[in-house]
Structure 1
């Protein structure tokens, strides 16, 4: 079986072609945990990126004017934005279907523009307006807004960027013409279609188009302007305000809002209360970030290099070294046997086939639970089983639920041995998930990086009377000595 999960492999081109063009070599089986950071557009020296940032902010200001003018009767459809799934970026570990910005977002942002954020676009402290501002304080607008809104407003640019690559480097049979809504008509207040020639899933016949994204506008986790940093550095941000009267008023108000021995939630409450009283704090924070805009490019590059080396390269190596030469996909027992067989297969690859090497760089372990989860997902390529990542059945998300019909399902959980909460999770977590989803069985997979970690796991399992249990798979990912050196 030929397994082509990476863009360069699928279209049979060198990865260097994408690197030289400046595009991310995406995985075509599941989203990569990256998104476009609008601050990188603002901070860029490229005029076309700066234009895209202006376009994004201008559209948001247009929506604000509609929200204020029409109030509760505003057309919510204008405030809804689907996820652009064809870029294969986001949080989905299996596939590329996200939720986008729907009715709840529309209601929240209309309310925000008629309340706390009514002055958006009228800032005088910062040098520009930034859409990230809307995520800084409780308006019900989360960081998913940044990714979905930015990608929708940049869609025409990304389509042109992808079309140029496809026409230059791909074969005619690998390209196809698509009509895609990406141009907003302010007069008619609707999105209009435009035709592009794009790469698509040509091996699947009438497949969907694929979108490429420039590497230098991508980041991981939080954007450069984010709520977590605002809260974490609130005291230093407030103390750096040049207006001494305002600075003293803010600090006085903030410390009065804190109890004598504040906990984390008390601190967050005091920050929120102070910002509501002195909303200009947000603009001072953003101004501080603007002054450090050169740092944003380096931070983003470091995060991206980490993702590319730890995840994309790992996925590629795993497929090249193991999956393409395996008859593994022909076995079709029940979901528990199927999941257990794949877990054991993964264990053998890592322990006996030098698969552990992809989890190290310069002798240091790099794999997180997220990495091992995504690699496990690849072992289900072309499987008839339903494999859902992070299934949430009301008791928090499980890593995977493997199903074959409504009466046959198995929960699979991944853990690192180094986790301080390992014993607690082993004892409670999958049992909770199993009951919540009515799954019949569950499997736990534990990744160990050293003999010490293996011993730790065995002690925990022995204390739980679980040592040797079939459904607990311990994977030894410690470095192995070359066979030629073994006496």
Structure 2
């Protein structure tokens, strides 16, 4: 279920090599931050390779390209082989796609023009303009441009530490770009491999931990707008700084006058919103403000590295340590496999066992990191994937079919499937879960659903229980609705209980 297990190497050896021991069940929610590549002397050649390709794109964009040429040079497919991302089932996510390719084609000049303000060029600058930009898109773009490095990095480890029988010489599509032929080139590498859900060979890539983080990339839209005060203070051009400050000041004064005229209170949070909106307007006229932001981030090297390492350690502890502990508890408590059960009965059995592990076998401890609870449904969903250890049932998260996306669909053939939905008791939309699963049932032609509600305090338990009762499902508790006690302040250790 992990790289170390599948390829029979010690996880400490992977760590010593500088890589992450990835899960081979579902993606790890970690992403490559290009700023970490730029900030490291070790990866400067990689940064230059990335920027070189962007320069090629810029030159081509000035010539005017056909749709086919844009697709060939600007469109990047997903590289799922590193097992990084959001997918809860396997490692397949969404590619950047043609929409992004067209956007990049139209804005490649913006991405590379530093106005002589920032120290270097950064590909993620383009994302400051892109609606719907996110860490997964920045990471996917970067992976495509450093694929050769990742293949060589993994190949070196594999040749030295992995049994040759667990590796194959595999052709890797678009491994690198040939500037003479102006085309991407495939190349063969000796890499660890596994068989995917379609029975086809799929190579696996390791990624250095020091270019990974869990949160947004260091250069991102939301942080750019939040940083408007720092950006304004960093403007070296006195005239521009005065103009920007005056523009924002006028917007604030107008708001205050309107409030006084209407005899309404002047609120600090409203002033902050006015300033942010005014900054969003003025940056359209003076795009060099983007470059002052990037310059600030370039100078913030130590803080960025520190923050990224904290995010990385927290995410690995949440997923890796907790999941391995849960698997150990699962195995040691001798879960009995009964493949003759219906998908619904098996899903119910696994969910009940998950509840038992958390509540009665110290499993709840794995829902806390240094006393801080894992508060995201996404984290709990990932951990639940590991409870299907050893199963022949298909556990899937169906693509959004227009009616929403179920957390899990358990199946043994098309006519034998059941939906499982996870919710935190603290979720403000908890009461809608019963309507939600009915929609999923109709959309996926399933016969019934199971609901798991996780609570971390007594008050959350009371809220969850009352929601279930008010919906008329009191009799379904512990049958098709499972209230799972994740508290760490009300349980004696299993070793002394």
- Report the TM-score, using the length of structure 1 for normalisation: 0.88
Tell whether 2:226 aligns with 1:217. no
Gaps of 5+ in 1: none
- SS of 2:89's equivalent? coil
Aligned residue number for residue 83 of structure 1: 78
User: Match for 2:480 among 471, 474, 478?
Assistant: 471
Structure 1 residues 171 and 246, CA gap change in structure 2 (3 angstroms)? same
**Does the 8 Å contact 2:314/2:369 carry over to 1?**
no
Structure 2 equivalent of residue 111 of structure 1? 106
Shift of 1:167: 1.4
1:335 aligns with 2:343: yes
Alignment match, 1:50: 44
Stretch of structure 1 that moved more, 354-363 or 203-212: 203-212
In structure 2, relative to structure 1, the CA distance for the partners of 1:398 and 1:162 (3 Å cut) is: same
Distance 2:88 2:335 in 1: 24
Residue 159 of structure 1, CA deviation: 1.1
| CA-to-aligned-CA distance 1:368-393 (integer Å, 9 cap, x gap) | 31221012122334545443336423
Aligned residue for 1:228, secondary structure, equals helix
Q: Tell me which moved more, 50-59 or 333-342.
A: 333-342
Paired residue secondary structure (1:238): helix
Q: Do structure 1's residue 39 and structure 2's residue 39 form an aligned pair?
A: no
Instruction: Choose the corresponding residue for 1:246, options 240, 245, 252.
Output: 240
Aligned twin of 1:133: 125
After superposition, give the CA deviation of every residue in 1:407-430 in whole Å (9 maximum; x if it has no partner).
Answer: 5543322122233x0544445443
Q: Secondary structure, in 3 states, of the residue corresponding to 1:96?
A: coil
Which residues of structure 2 form unaligned runs of 5+?
A: 260-269
Aligned to 1:448: 455
CA distance in 2, matches of 1:317, 1:337: 25
Alignment check: 8 A CA contact 1:34 1:90 kept: yes
Is 1:274 the counterpart of 2:269 in the alignment? no
Asked whether 1:167 is paired with 2:174, we answer no
Q: 3-state DSSP class of the match of 2:466?
A: helix
Alignment partner, residue 102 of structure 1? 97
Out of 197, 204, 214, the position equivalent to 2:190 is: 197
CA distance in 2, matches of 1:154, 1:390: 31
Contact 2:362 2:493 in 1 (8 A): no
In 1: Cα distance, 2:483 partner to 2:275 partner: 40
What is the distance in 2 between the residues matched to 1:44 and 1:315?
A: 31
Cα deviation for residue 329 of structure 1 reads 4.1
RMSD: 2.9
How many residue pairs are counted as aligned between the two chains? 476
Answer yes or no: is the 8 Å Cα contact 2:424–2:430 preserved in 1. Answer: no
For the residues of structure 1 that align with 2:31 and 2:196, how far apart are their CA atoms? 27
- 5 Å-filtered alignment, 1:222-241, equals 222-241=216-235
In the TM superposition, what is the alpha-carbon distance from 1:234 to its structure 2 partner? 2.4
Q: 1:430 aligns with which of 432, 437, 446?
A: 437
Question: Does the CA contact (< 8 Å) of 1:173 and 1:202 recur in 2?
Answer: no
- Alignment of 1:9 onto 2:18: no
CA contact (8 A) 1:109 1:139 kept: no
Q: 1:176 to 1:264 in 2, by over 3 A?
A: farther
SS of the aligned residue for 1:392 comes to coil
Larger CA deviation: 476-485 vs 156-165 = 476-485
In 2, distance between residues paired with 1:142 and 1:43? 20
Alpha-carbon offset, residue 395 of structure 1: 4.1
CA offset at residue 91 of structure 1?
1.1
Rounded to whole Å, the distance in 1 between the matches of 2:241 and 2:354 is 57
Partner in structure 2 of residue 355 of structure 1: 363
Kept in 2: contact 1:329–1:380 (CA 8 A): no
Cα pair 1:72 1:110 within 8 Å, conserved = no
Secondary structure of 2:474's match?
Answer: coil
TM-aligned CA deviation for residue 342 of structure 1: 1.7
In 2, Cα distance between the equivalents of 1:140 and 1:373?
A: 24
- Does residue 137 of structure 2 align to residue 145 of structure 1? yes
Q: Give the CA deviation at 1:7.
A: 1.1
| Cα distance between partner residues in 2 of 1:397 and 1:255 | 45
2:2 and 2:24 in contact (8 A); partners too: yes
SS in 1 for 2:384: helix
Structure 1 residues 434-443 or 131-140, which shifts more?
A: 434-443
Which residue does the alignment assign to 2:16?
A: 20
- Checking the alignment, whether the CA contact within 8 Å between 2:318 and 2:374 is kept in structure 1 is yes
Distance in 2 of aligned mates of 1:31 and 1:152: 17
> Is it true that 1:481 corresponds to 2:480 in the alignment?
no
SS in structure 2 of the partner of residue 397 of structure 1:
coil
Give the distance between the partners of 2:194 and 2:66, measured in 1 at CA. 42
For 1:366, which of 355, 368, 374 is the aligned residue?
Answer: 374
**Contact map agreement 2:175 2:186 (CA 8 A) in 1:** yes
Matched residues in 1 for 2:70 and 2:458: separation? 61
